[in-house]
Amino acid sequence: MHRHTSAASRIIGVLLVAVLGLSTTVAKADPRLQAQRLSYDQAMAALKAGQMERYRSLKSGLTDYPLYPYLLLEELSRRDKPPHQEVENFLIAHGDLPAAQRYKNEWLRRLARDGEWTMFRRNYDEASQDAGLDCQVTNQMWREGNVAQAKQRATELWTVGRSQPKDCDPLFERWRQAGGLTEEVAWQRIRLALLYRQDALARYLTRYVPSQKALAERFVDTATRPTLLNQTANYQPGPNQSAERIADIVTVSLRRLGRDDPAAAMAMWPSYQHLPFAEADRLAITRDIGVRMARRHNPDALAFMAANDPRMQDDQVSEWRIRLALRTQQWEQARDLTQRMPQTMQEQSRWHYWRLRSAQLAAPQVGELTREYAEVARHRDFYGFISAERSRQPYALNHQPARVEPRVMARVTQTGGIRRAKEFYARGQVVDARREWYHVARHFNREELIAQAVLAREMEWYFPAIRGISQAQYWDDLDIRFPLAFKEPITAQARARQLNSTWVFAITRQESAFMVDARSHAGAMGLMQLMPGTARETAQRYGIPLRNPNDVLLPERNIALGTAYLSQLHNQFKGNRVLASAAYNAGPGRVRQWTRDIDELPSDVWIETIPFDETRHYVQSVLSYAVIYGDKLGIRQSIMEPHERYILAP
C-alpha cells in the first residue's frame, strides 16, 4: 500500500517543480498552512515511531489539513483488527483515497472470515475485480440457498486461463462436490490456460478429463510443441477424438506457433483447414498467422487472409489486407478492398483517405479528386492534413477553447481528491499528486473532467491537463492539448541543431506530453524519453554535461540531449522527418530494415504499412502535431515537405 513518499522522493519532486519554473505553494503559503505541513510530517513520523501521545497531540490541529485522511489511514493500517464500525466510518468519510481500496479489500476479507455479511454487502463493490472476494460472496450465496445462481457463478470463476487465489478454494470444492466440474468445463479451461501459456496449469487440469486424458495430454504437448502438427495422421478425427476436439487442439497450437513463427504456421494450414473451426476461432487463427505475416510484408498473407475472412468480418484482418496490398503495390486490390470494407471502417478518415488514394494509384486518370479529398480535409488529423494539401485547402485546426461554468469549476476545486492533489503538488510530491489527480477523475462526468483539465493547465501542469482533456474527449482546445511548454530551451536547441522547432515540439509532445519525470517501462526518461545508453552516447558525442543518470530528468538537459540525438537521426536519414521520427521511436536499425526492400514508395504508403502499430501512430502523430505547433509558432509547416513525400532505396 502506498502511504507516503520517501524523503529522497520528496526532494526530487520539489526540484522538479522548481526547474519547471512553477510558483510553488510551499513558498507562498499562509503561515498556518506552512505550520500544518510541518505538523503533518511530525505527526507521521511520531506515528511510525510509536509515539502515540505526541501523534495525537499533533493530529488534533490537522483536521482541516487536506492530507489529514492519510494520517487516519496510516493509523488504521498499523492497528491489529480495529473495530469494523470504525473502519466503515473511515471508508464512508475517506474511501476516495487512492490507497483506501487495497485496505478496504483486506478489511472485506476480515468481514467474510468474521461472518459479518450484512456489513460486507453494504461495502462490497462487484466492480472491484477481486476474484478472491467474488468467490467468498458466491460461497455465501450458496450457503444462503441461492444454489443455481452460485453454481453458475462458480463455473464462470473457475473457467479462466490462470490460477485463482486461495480464497476461491472453498467455493470450488463445494462446486466440484455438487457436480459442477464436468469434463467439458475442464477441457475449456485447459484450452484457455494454453492460450494464456499457462502450461503447467493446463497439464494439471488434464486429471479432470479422465475419459479423454490421453487426448488432453496430447493437447498440452502439441500446444507447447506446435511442430508436432507436422505429424498430420495424429490429428485427424476418429472414434476417440472428435473433429471438434481436434479443431480445438489445432486452433490453440497454430495460434501459438503463429505468434512465434507465422510462416511455419501458414505452411501447416492446408492440412487442417477442413476442420470444423468455429467462426471466431478461424478469425483468430487468421489474425495470429495472416496479420503477423502481413506485418512482415509477405505477399502470401493476402491469399490466406482473403480465404479465411472473405466477408471482411474482422477489422484487424481487413486493415492488414489493405495495407499489404498497398505495400506490395497491388493498387487495384487495395482499391477494391477499400470499397468493400465495412461501413464502420469507411467512416474513418484513415480509410476514407485510402479509398480515394488507392483509386488514384490504381487508375491515375481519375484525376486529382480535389472535391472528394476536401471532405476528408475537414478532419484535424494526419489524413485530414494530407487531404488538405491534396485538395488545396487550409488545415482544419478548428481551435475552440474549453468553457467551464463557474459552478462546475467550484465543485471540482473543492473535491477532496483535487485538494489533496494540489497539496501534494505544492509539497513537491508530484507522484502522489498525480495519483490523487487521476483517481478522482474516475468519478467525474465530462463537464468536470474538462474543468479539471482547465485547472491543471492554469497550474502549468501539462501532462494531467492533456490527459484530462483527452479523457473528456474534448479535442478542440489546442492550447490545453498542445501547450508551448519549455518554449525557450526547445526553440534554442532546435536552432542550435538546425532543426525546425515545430518538429522538436511535436516529438516532445508525443514522447512525454511534457511530463518532466516520465519513465517508460523500457527505461526511457524525461521530456524527450531518452534511454540511458542513448543519453550517455549522445552526451559524449556532443559534449553535453551528464554527471549522473538522473541528470537526464532535468528539463533543459533532456531537451539538449534529445534534440542532439534527433539531429543525428535527421542527418542519418538525409533530412527526412518521416524516417527520422520512426527511428526515434523504433530505432534506426528497424527503419533501415523496413526500407531495404523498396526502390521507391510514396511516403503515405510507407507510413501506413509500418509493421508496428505504435510506430505508425507515432509518426502520424508527430507529423500532425508539427503542423499544429507551426500554427502556434507562426511557422508554415507542411505535413510533409516535398523531399519527404517518397521513400527511396537506402
Q: Which residues are catalytic?
A: 511
Q: Which three cell numbers stand for residue 164?
A: 485463482
Q: Helix (H, G, I), strand (E, B), or coil: what is residue 525?
A: strand
Cell of 448: 468536470
State the burial class of residue 113 (Cβ atoms within 10 Å of its Cβ: 0-12, 13-18, 19+): exposed
Query: In terms of DSSP bridges, do strands 600-602 and 646-648 run parallel, antiparallel, or are they unpaired?
Result: antiparallel
Q: Which helix (H) or strand (E) holds 602?
A: strand 600-602
Burial of 279 (0-12, 13-18, 19+ CB in 10 A): exposed
Do residues 158 and 172 make contact, with C-beta atoms less than 8 angstroms apart?
yes
Contact (CB, 8 A) for 31 and 12:
no
**Cα dist. 372→360, 392, 602 in Å?**
12, 12, 20
Grid cell listed for 426 = 505544492
Q: Say how far apart CA 589 and CA 576 lie, in whole Å.
A: 16
Phi-psi region of 575 (alpha: psi -120 to 50; beta: other; left: phi over 0): left
**396 touches 377 (CB < 8 A):** yes
Written as one string, the DSSP assignment of 625-649 is HHHHHHHHHT----SS-GGGSEEE-
Helix/strand/coil percentages in the chain, nearest 5: 70, 0, 30
Q: Which three cell numbers stand for residue 453?
A: 483539465
Q: Buried b / exposed e across 515-547, counting CB within 10 Å, b at 16+?
A: bbbbeeeeebbbbbbbbeebbeebbeebeeebe
Extended strands (E) in 258-321: none
Residue 236 near residue 246, CB atoms below 8 Å? yes
Cell of 579: 524516417
Q: Give me the residues paired with residue 646 across strands.
A: 602
Give which of 169, 208, 175 is closest to 189, Cα–Cα: 208
Distance CA 230, CA 258 (A): 14
